Structure 1
Amino acid sequence: MRTPVRARLRTLLGVVAGAALALAPQAAALPAAPHTPTAAAGAAADPAYKVLVFSKTAGFRHSSIDDGVAALRGLGTANNFTVDATEDAQTFTAGNLAQYKAVVFLSTTGDVLNSTQQTAFEQYIQGGGGYVGIHAAADTEYDWPFYEGLAGALFHSHPAIQPATVKVEDRAHDSTAHLGAAWQRTDEWYNYRTNPRTTARVLASLDESSYSGGNMAGDHPIAWCKDYQGGRAYYTGGGHTDESYAEPAFRRHLLGGIRWAAGMTDADCRPETGYTPLFDGSSTSGWRQAGPGGFTLADGTLTSHGGLGLFWYGQELSGDYSVKLDWKAAGDDNSGVFLGFPASDDPWTAVNQGYEIQIDATDSADRTTGAVYGFRSADLAARDAALNPPGEWNTYELRVTGERLEVFLNGRKINDFTNTDPARSLRQGHIGLQNHGDGDDVSFRNVRVKHGGGQQPNPRTGEVKGVNGKCLDIDNSQTADGTKVQLWTCNGTGAQRWTVGTDGTVKALGKCLDVSGGGSADGTRIQLWTCNGTGAQKWTPQADGTVRNPQSGKCLDASGGVWNDGTAVHLWTCHTGPNQKWTLP
């Protein structure tokens, strides 16, 4: 449903983007809002797209809906998307929804869609569509499990309208990157029936000590994002008051949520728990500079100047661990993140004895963004699909398990490297941020670590790539039991977005990769089927690149000897040939 917009490197580095997000004046100001936010200053415009704003109410009706629609139309005018606003649920048909990159539920309440309309919307999301929920979107469709999962959490109660402190947990997502660590706002602050933190990336939460009436035991998410059944889901609890839609910061918050849900920008929206800060924006305690140049600290952000030097953390990382950090290049700028080097005040120690994960996107394949510099290129197609352009924030996860290094960009795996040099070790050493030289302006935020990071507690979502670089694909995005699973040229649709679960399942479009009839004979059909927990739907990745069905003891195999679009996959005796090698997210 959503086509990849990352031709993106968007003329990638022909554009020099501003180093900070800006609130630009509207071309034609709305009466209630003197300024309409735009995306990162200087960044190339998003391609034109359409958004459906749906505001039907079957319960309480918010007076702010009209202001919300007007604000979203203003954002669209300033940011190259067209808004269609409706309260007619009959617009929820497969054919009509297909024209929209995202659907915004603007303070909907109660049961607003019938079963046929619900099915059409489910198929839209499963086909790669985007969802944005604003405020009372959480007070909607309590008896529809799909929607509860999509929204992330449903309304429980609320206190009176009052000021509160919003803690911004993720300053890389486009909806929160313009905010400081604390955001003071007045709104009607919802309590939710469940905490979405285990299934979504929490972008912002409420400081319950800053207002009266919070009941979520001090962990109170208020904005979040998640990948969901092939699509993207974003929710913010703000937006009850009429005045919200005249606030530039809140409008920019909404714009970022829409841009992400529509696929115009990327972010790491996997759930995140258990990380501790190495640099939290307030202090550089524990860090030291090796070599010339350095970093300037402002607004919780480290920005490089001069060089060639290295800002490195004094406490050694050892064993299995996962490092996450947010970074942004102003334009065609050079920097990198180093791992596995010994303590030294000579920056060349990290170069010669550690490994650099590169940031500069304009060098050769083994020295470009996502590459392990000089050793292994990133998967360039996956990298290009995930990389935000200059002026926008990106997130790296660098996951070390033994001597294996996996690189994730905005939540998508783009590199998988194993150290075999006995003189180097990823399992023991330091982390450092490079300041490459004059004119190379790269910024970093929120450097954090999780020990034992080689474990994978959360499901992973993305493409499953096989022989000839083709993707595991669901025929024509159909969801009927028995639908053919095949190879197809990678295209970024929901039919190729698989979630590899911790329970051994591999899911797409809400259903499971399944061995027909639970069979074990060579050539048994692999298909899509309703998830049922049986051994026919369990898959185990192997170190040799194969994916095995333990019940049968056989492997996922691309049939035949010429692997074109439409090649069926089936079960076959494991032999580690190229048609049995798979790269999982």
Structure 2
Amino acid sequence: MKQIIYSLLALIAFSACSSSTTTENESKDQEEKKEDWIVLFDGTSTEGWRAYNGDALPPGWVIKDGELTYDTEMGLEQDYTGGKDIIYGAEEFENFELYLEWKLPKGGNSGIFYHIPEVKESAGPSGLAPEYQLIDDENYASIHDLTSYNKKMGETENLDQLQDWQKTASDYAMYPADQSQVDLNPVGEWNSSKIVYTPEKVEYWLNGKVVVSFVPGSEDWEKRKNSGKWSGAPDYAKAKKGYIGLQDHASPIWFKNIKIKKL
């Protein structure tokens, strides 16, 4: 009789433990669902991606070894006259957290756009959408002549060098990345970037650190917008909802693990 009682008690204890574990797992699943990521590129398909103002990917944008890359030689081989910036055209995003990983070659240059409006008479996102800059901070100036461009932008010192607002993880031509927080991996190695956008605050992350923070549309933001590169671009950052895009700058570029979460 005692053995039967002990067996029943053990069964009850096991059931309680199993029920507790199930509840914990259900709770975890529910929490994960609340924070669901939308995968924009999983390494196997370019579904959703296309040229800005186009129906398909421009020549050169391909998947290699599970990475979304721009192959410059392939891009130049074909007779193509349209722009080569690409967008994830399946959905527009408003408030979000965007994460991706990327790497550049020596002298490489690219960028991440967001809130892109698709304007038929526009050649591309630049001048319309904010850009998280991607560039080879260390070697770019030694390969490309920046003097005339920097003069045009009103710079007066170190004209042959990248200016702070041109460097990686900057809000291009608006908010320079905090160089004390920039920990950039060498060319050919992977870096991770994150953009968190809300109307109250925008954050740019690089390799796990916040390097840019600003309030969109603030007095400071307006001052910067109206006194710099975008002073002659009335539609710059006007859209508060739009597509995510990747920039072609005639440079090889590699991306992977691209995902976004709506906030």
Give TM-score, length-normalised by structure 2.
0.61
Deviation at 1:356, TM superposition (A): 0.9
C-alpha separation between the residues in 2 aligned to 1:345 and 1:327? 29
Q: What is aligned with 2:190?
A: 393
C-alpha spacing 1:345/1:293, structure 2 compared with 1 (3 Å): farther
299, 302, 305: which one pairs with 2:65?
299
SS of aligned partner of 1:366: helix
Residue 294 to residue 444, structure 1, CA distance change in 2 (3 Å): same
Q: Which string of whole-angstrom CA distances, capped at 9 and with x for unpartnered residues, describes residues 491-515 of structure 1?
A: xxxxxxxxxxxxxxxxxxxxxxxxx
CA gap of 1:326–1:426, structure 2 versus 1, over 3 A, is farther
Kept in 1, the 8 Å contact 2:85–2:124? The answer is no
Query: Aligned equivalents of 2:213 and 2:121: distance in 1?
Result: 28
Report the CA distance shift for 1:418/1:275 in structure 2 as closer, same or farther (over 3 A): same
**Contact between 2:181 and 2:211, CA under 8 Å: does it hold in 1?**
yes
Structure 2 gap segments, 5+ residues each: 1-20, 29-34, 76-82, 141-161, 223-233
1:451 maps to amino acid: K
Contact preservation (8 Å) 2:41, 2:258: yes
Deviations 1:305-332 (A, max 9, x none): 3476211011343332100011011222
Question: Corresponding residue for 1:283?
Answer: 45
1:403 Cα deviation from its structure 2 partner: 6.0
Could you tell me which amino acid in structure 2 is paired with residue 299 of structure 1? D
Q: State the match for 1:358 in structure 2.
A: 133
**1:325 — aligned with what?**
100
SS at match of 1:309: coil
Aligned: 1:408 with 2:219? no
Instruction: Quote the residue 1:379 is aligned against.
Output: 178
SS at match of 1:352: coil
Amino acid of the structure 1 residue aligned with 2:93: S
**Out of 98, 101, 112, which is 1:337 matched to?**
112
1:285 counterpart letter in structure 2? E
Match of 2:216 in 1: 419
The 3 A distance-change label for structure 1 pair 426 and 368 is farther
* Cα deviation, residue 426, structure 1: 6.2
Deviation of residue 425 (structure 1)?
4.2
Q: AA paired with 2:44?
A: S
| SS of alignment partner, residue 398 of structure 1 | strand
Counterpart code for 1:428? K
Q: Give the CA deviation at 1:441.
A: 1.2
Looking at structure 2, the residues matched to 433 and 388 of structure 1 have their Cα atoms a distance apart, in angstroms, of: 20
Q: Which residue identity lines up with residue 391 of structure 1 in the other structure?
A: G
Q: Deviations over 1:50-86 (max 9, x none)?
A: xxxxxxxxxxxxxxxxxxxxxxxxxxxxxxxxxxxxx
Please state whether the residue corresponding to 1:315 is helix, strand or coil: strand
Higher relative contact order (CA 8 A, sep 6+): 2
Structure with a larger share of its residues in helix: 2
- Inter-CA distance 296–366: structure 2 relative to 1 (3 Å threshold): same
1:115-264 alignment, distance < 5 Å: none
Residue 418 of structure 1: CA displacement? 2.9
1:370 counterpart residue number: 169
Q: Tell me if structure 2 keeps the 8 A contact 1:325–1:397.
A: yes
Q: 2 CA distance for matches of 1:281 and 1:346?
A: 32
Match in the other structure for 2:157:
none
SS at the partner of 2:126?
Answer: helix
Distance in structure 1 (CA, Å) of the matches to 2:60 and 2:109: 14
For 2:189 and 2:241, locate their aligned partners in 1 and report how far apart those are by CA, in whole Å: 32
Q: 1:333 to 1:345 in 2, by over 3 A?
A: farther
Letter in 2 for 1:387: L
Residues 378 and 348 (structure 1 numbering): CA distance in 2 closer, same or farther, change over 3 Å? farther
> SS state of the match for residue 90, structure 2?
coil
Secondary structure at 2:180 match in 1? helix
Distance apart, 1:285 and its partner CA: 0.8
Tell me by how many angstroms 1:294 deviates.
3.7
1:346 to partner: Cα distance: 6.9
Displacement, 1:404? 3.2
Structure 1: 4+ residue segments shifted above 4 A: 344-347
Residues 293, 416 of structure 1: CA spacing in aligned structure 2 closer, same or farther, 3 A cutoff? farther
Q: Which residue does 2:145 correspond to in 1?
A: none
Distance 1:358 1:416 in 2: 14
Letter in 1 for 2:259: R
Unaligned runs of 5+ residues in structure 1 are: 1-193, 195-215, 220-272, 453-585
Count of matched residue pairs? 180
Aligned to 2:143: none
Contact 1:337 1:358 in 2 (8 A): yes
- Report the AA paired with residue 249 of structure 2: H
What percentage of aligned pairs have identical amino acids? 33
Contact 2:117–2:239 (8 Å) recurs in 1: no
The residue that corresponds to 1:449 in the other structure is: 260
Partner of 1:127: none
